[in-house]
Amino acid sequence: MNVVILAAGKGKRMNSFLPKVLQRLGNKPMLEWVLDSAETLLQGQSPVVVIGHGAEQVREYFADRPVKFALQAEQKGTAHAVAQAIPSLENNESVLVLYGDVPLISPATLEEFSKQAGDEVGLLTVELDNPTGYGRILRDETGEVIGIVEEKDASDEQRKIKEVNTGIMIIPGDKIKGWLSQVGCTNKQSEYYLTDLIGFAAKEGVKIHTLKTKDHWEVEGVNDKTQLQRLERALQRKQAAKLMAQGVGLADAERIDIRGSLTCGKDVFIDVGCVFEGDVVLEDNVRIGPYSVIRSTKICADTVVDAFSHFDKAVVGESAKIGPFARLRPGAELSEEVHVGNFVEIKKSVIGKGSKVNHLSYIGDCDMGSNVNIGAGTITCNYDGVNKFRTVIEDDCFIGSDTQLVAPVTVHKHSTVGAGATVTRDVPEDCLFVRRAKPVTIPGWPRPTKK
């Protein structure tokens, strides 16, 4: 099947520098959602995306994706847009027409739709309590579709019809060129409507198969930020329902945001206000505290993450306890039974089994062994202003509070560093390292004043 996606609109009501189809839903452009849904029907073929406003921005964003582009230099209606794509089609198979600003159409709906239409005409419809703004589906006394009338051209009686056109249709490949050539623009908008093709099919006796969608948000278009936000919530509710069906516990299904993929094991619990981005894996019995942000991270079984923790491209081992207010930056790899407490930041570091960094510390570019205790306020000083260096803390070490470890430096196993030390040379095994200046009292020392 050929797939043509109309994506030439400006999206003036978005009030944005971005083309409408690059506006984000679930943290990816609306057009990307449509391309992903259509993939199962393409079987190796490239979809044709009709672009216009912001054409170069759209081309650039999807430069690494197998997409063909057709330019609609002037926006003269949907039939005119599809006509621009015809020279780029690879064969005479049927043409599925989709829209870059109708992002939540599902792969399952498209598969059912394509099977039902076969080699004939397919028309996706939806029934709305308030059909204002949509083209109405016209049927004869036997229930067969005989045409579509746009609201601006509809009579008062036709406007009472609640079954409306979604714009998504399938047109036989051997008919589409001829029908497009017959489309005129004698309507109030002076545009070439793709919906005219349905009338041509009815006149020629070509069977028109209709599929009525159950969820109206699947076929809802986006023209402004209010509609975009409405679809965002619909998307999040759908993803939350899927998680709960798999056994995930949510404190509030209305207060979770999944902006990528979230894979959960059994008995996972997620508190309110959490955001998941990229590819996130939560294994069995993981608990995520409120208002945490987890991005492209794997959290192993039986781990507890307390409130307001932020993870980015990290790995957390089993039975760890993290937070509250902890930050794991890219390259943080925590083994099992690790404790990372409040206001601790870990970056590009490996933390061994059972080690603890519980308070107000920065651990960067560090290789830490097992059963290490890091006192409050400890810093691995990994940057000299030009280069980064690593700190090594071996097994069973105790680092006192307010310690600075100036890399490159190694604290060998079973050693203790006294509080307040600045460690600039390696510490041998099984020893106590203490560095404290002799106390000095300066009488009459003037306190600095503001100049």
State yes or no: 40 annotated in a binding site.
no
State yes or no: 362 annotated in a binding site.
yes
Contacts 24+ apart (CB under 8 A), 72-76: 72/8, 75/8, 75/9, 75/10, 76/185, 76/191, 76/192
Which residue among the candidates 53, 209, 216, 359 is catalytic per the annotation?
Answer: 359
Taking CA atoms, 385 is separated from 345, 346, 389, in Å, by 19, 19, 11
CA 236 to chain centre: 11
State yes or no: 373 annotated in a binding site.
yes
The answer to whether residues 208 and 145 touch, using CB atoms and an 8 Å cutoff, is: yes
State yes or no: 134 annotated in a binding site.
no
Q: What is the C-alpha radius of gyration for the chain, rounded to an integer number of angstroms? A: 31
State yes or no: 259 annotated in a binding site.
no
State yes or no: 6 annotated in a binding site.
yes
The answer to whether residues 247 and 134 touch, using CB atoms and an 8 Å cutoff, is: no
State yes or no: 347 annotated in a binding site.
yes
State yes or no: 354 annotated in a binding site.
no
State yes or no: 334 annotated in a binding site.
no
- Single-letter amino acid code for the residue at 241: A
Strand pairing partners for 423? 405
Confirm whether 359 is a catalytic residue: yes
State yes or no: 314 annotated in a binding site.
no
Find the helix packing angle between 30-42 and 107-117, rounded to 10°.
Answer: 40
State yes or no: 20 annotated in a binding site.
yes
State yes or no: 383 annotated in a binding site.
yes
State yes or no: 100 annotated in a binding site.
yes
State yes or no: 421 annotated in a binding site.
no
22 vs 8: CA distance, rounded Å: 11
State yes or no: 78 annotated in a binding site.
yes
State yes or no: 207 annotated in a binding site.
no
223 vs 166: CA distance, rounded Å: 15
> Which residue from 218, 281, 294 is spatially nearest to 248, judged by alpha carbons?
281
State yes or no: 265 annotated in a binding site.
no
State yes or no: 291 annotated in a binding site.
no
State yes or no: 101 annotated in a binding site.
yes
State yes or no: 192 annotated in a binding site.
no
State yes or no: 9 annotated in a binding site.
yes
State yes or no: 165 annotated in a binding site.
yes
State yes or no: 7 annotated in a binding site.
yes
Binding annotation: 6-9, 20, 72, 77-78, 99-101, 135, 150, 165, 223, 329, 347, 362, 373, 376, 382-383, 401, 419, 436
Binding annotation for Mg(2+): 101, 223
Binding annotation for acetyl-CoA: 376, 382-383, 401, 419, 436
Binding annotation for UDP-N-acetyl-alpha-D-glucosamine: 6-9, 20, 72, 77-78, 99-101, 135, 150, 165, 223, 329, 347, 362, 373
Q: Which amino acids are annotated catalytic?
A: 359
